[in-house]
Structure formats: structure tokens, C-alpha cells
Amino acid sequence: MDVNFGPQERILWPASILAGIVICGAVYEMTRKVSSRCFKCYNMLNNTQKVEWNNRGFSTLHALVAAAVSFYLVMISDLFNEDAHNSIIIDRKSWLSDSMFGVSIGYFLTDLTMILLYFPSLGGKEYLLHHGLSMYAIGLALLSGKAHMYILMVLFTEVTTPFVNLRWYLDVAGQKTCNLYLYNGVALFVGWLIARIILFIYMFTHMYFHFDQARSIFTLGFYSLVGVPSAVAVMNVFWFWKILKGMVKTLSKRKRSENGKTE
């Protein structure tokens, strides 16, 4: 693997990783201060719940930024347009994709540290596996400059994180019976289906039709490109099944409650 560590990368990579860590810390503190003043339920939480509440604040921000940047680079810009450049898609990158990868590594490092410090309160072994695979894949793409489009597609799946976090917030706030909890659950189901199931099918299909390009990169990169998204896809299907069961359970309770009121 050839590492393209030129003058720009020597500044951009460490700066973006550090920025990701600093932003996470700043948002954590901001979430703590704002929540303690604006949400009565926050002060009723135990210390571990408060840590998770604050932690989900910066995970939500990262998810929104990562999804927006990924969508722009893959769908709006001409960076990965087949006819816009002479280079093959697997070799295309930009300073913005490098920056986003660096910030994401900073985020995953911060979140992983918090998970380990409070293990398993903030997440179990599946979260360690998810974050480990994410950092490995993003780091490999950053160092090699290869497969940025596919990593951005995977990074776009973070768009479902705000719905997951809102579900948790409403749960600990004792708002599981409100309409927002139900609507958020439906949005989470639809978002997960599109971003983490259908998008992965599209990504693997695109990879299949550009297999010659994928095969042209270094050996570790090729097997990682095939293996890591496949492992993440399996986890996505597992979590999707849990989301589906949860939504069905919530809808069933709501229906029984409405029938009871009618009677």
C-alpha cells in the first residue's frame, strides 16, 4: 500500500482527527449545560444516564455532518461521476472526503473511549466491533486514498443515528407513550431500511459492476473493501430485525390501548 502523505496531508489528517475529538468534547459539555437548564428530566437521571445523554449529543452532530458531507460528495458533486474525470472511481478522493474521514476517526476514537470507560453501560461488544471496523476501514481509505466513494456510502448510514438517539431520549424521559415516540420509531424503521439495507444492496451491486477497479487496489484493501462492509451489513440486518420487532410491539400496544378506550 502506497501512503500518499504529502505536505497537505501532513496538516489535514492530524488536524481533522484532532478537530473531531475537540468538537466531540465541546458538544458533550454544551449538551450537559443546555440539558441541565432546559430539561427537567435530565436532573433526575443517574450519573451513567447523564453521561450517555451527553454522549448521544455529539454522536447526533457527527451523524448529521457525516451524512450531509457523504450525500454531497456522492450524489451532488461530480467527484464520482463516471464521465467527469479520467481517473477510475476507486482512485478518486478530495480534501473534503479526507477531512470528513479524519473527523470521523476522531469521533469514533472519542466514542469508543467513552464506551470502554463505562462498559457495558454505553454499548456492548457489538458497538466495540462496529466502531473498530469503522475506524479500520476509514483509516485504510484515508491512508491509501482508495475506495472513498464506498466508504462515504457506509458513512452515510449514520443518518439513522439521530432517530436512534431521539428514541433513547424519549425513553429515559418517560415519553414512550407520546406520538413523537411512535412517529420517530416509524421514521427509524424507514430510514434504516433505506440507508442500511437498500443502500448496501446498491453499494454491493455497484462494486460488482466495477469489480475490475476494486480488484486493482492492493490486496489488503481489496479484501477489506469486501469484508468490512459485509460484516457491517450483517450487523445492520440484525439491528433491523430488532427495530422491526420493537416497532410491531409499540404499534400493538398502541392499538390495544385505543381499543380499550373505545370499549
Instruction: Give mean pLDDT, residues 29-39.
Output: 97
* Confidence (pLDDT) at 52: 97
Look at residue 195 and tell me whether its pLDDT is greater than 70. Answer: yes
pLDDT tens digit sequence for 52-111: 999 999 999 999 999 999 999 999 999 999 888 889 999 999 999 999 999 999 999 999
Beta strands in the chain (DSSP E): none
Look at residue 150 and tell me whether its pLDDT is greater than 80. Answer: yes
Q: What separation, in Å, do the N-terminal and C-terminal C-alpha atoms of the chain show?
A: 69
pLDDT above 70 coverage of the chain, percent: 97
Look at residue 263 and tell me whether its pLDDT is greater than 60. Answer: no
CA dist 51 to 56, 131, 181, 212, Å? 9, 19, 22, 47
Look at residue 117 and tell me whether its pLDDT is greater than 70. Answer: yes
pLDDT tens digit sequence for 209-235: 999 999 999 999 999 999 999 999 999
pLDDT bucket at 193, cuts 50 / 70 / 90? very high
Burial classification of residue 17, based on how many CB atoms lie within 10 Å of its CB (0-12 exposed, 13-18 middle, 19 or more buried): buried
Farthest-apart Cα atoms in the chain, separation: 73
Provide the residue ranges of all domains of the chain, joining segments of one domain with +: 7-257
pLDDT tens digit sequence for 228-254: 999 999 999 999 999 999 888 888 887
- DSSP SS3 for 233: helix
Tell me how long the chain is: 263
On average, the pLDDT of the chain sits at 94
d(C-alpha 120, C-alpha 247), whole Å: 25
